[in-house]
Amino acid sequence: MRTSSPPSASRKPNIFSTRKSGWQALVGTSDFAEIIQKKGSDEGARLAYDLFVDRILDMVGAYWPKLDGNVDALVFSGGIGEKELRRSVIERCACLGLAIDRTRNEAIDDQEGEVVKIGKDDQGKVLVCRTDQQVCTAPRTTYLDVTVRDGETMCTGP
């Protein structure tokens, strides 16, 4: 015999995973800038920040040996975390020969070019690639039909 759940039951896992977990559950916000501001005084914000740094380090650690250490540069892109996040990640990558020039990292907005070097001259390359996220995502945006029912937002689309 086949049974099915009411529509509201099938929506709850998705709503839970998008609204009541991750950074939202730890800190009460999904705004990373707010998490950085709170991390000095809020245990959940500190944990969220540390977990994010750890995830980035997981990716670096996974790819470094796959590339046999032949890494041209570690490149940061987009605005999330900005200076403090880059510094936290690169300081933990010192064992890979990477080091950040704190002055360049802090003065990134004053430097010219689409790609800006923020690593120390004598060590591995650390770069920031400027991106205009609105220009990058706009062509990929599709129309979604948004409906609010019983206080829950439902999105449908292609």
pLDDT tens digits, one per residue of 9-35: 444 444 444 556 788 888 888 888 899
Domain ranges of the chain: 14-71, 72-158
- Residue 46's pLDDT is 93
**Average per-residue pLDDT for the chain:** 78
- Secondary structure of residue 24 in the 3-state scheme: helix
Cα–Cα distance measured from residue 48 to residue 32, given in angstroms and rounded to the nearest whole number: 9
Closest CA to 118 of 97, 101, 134: 101
pLDDT one-digit tens code per residue, 112-150: 878 888 899 776 689 888 876 555 555 555 555 555 666
Q: Cα–chain-centroid distance for residue 153? A: 24
Cα–Cα distance measured from residue 109 to residue 82, given in angstroms and rounded to the nearest whole number: 11
Q: Cα–chain-centroid distance for residue 47? A: 14
Q: What is the pTM of this model?
A: 0.68
Q: CB 60: neighbour CB atoms within 10 A?
A: 16
Residue 7 has pLDDT above 90, yes or no: no
Contact 64, 73 (CB under 8 A): no
Tell me the percentage of the chain whose pLDDT exceeds 90: 35
Tell me the percentage of the chain whose pLDDT exceeds 70: 68
- Secondary structure of residue 80 in the 3-state scheme: coil
Kind plus residue range of the DSSP H or E element containing 62: helix 43-66
* Residue 96's pLDDT band (cuts 50, 70, 90): very high
- Residue 11's pLDDT is 46
Architecture (CATH level 2) of domain 72-158: 2-Layer Sandwich (3.30)
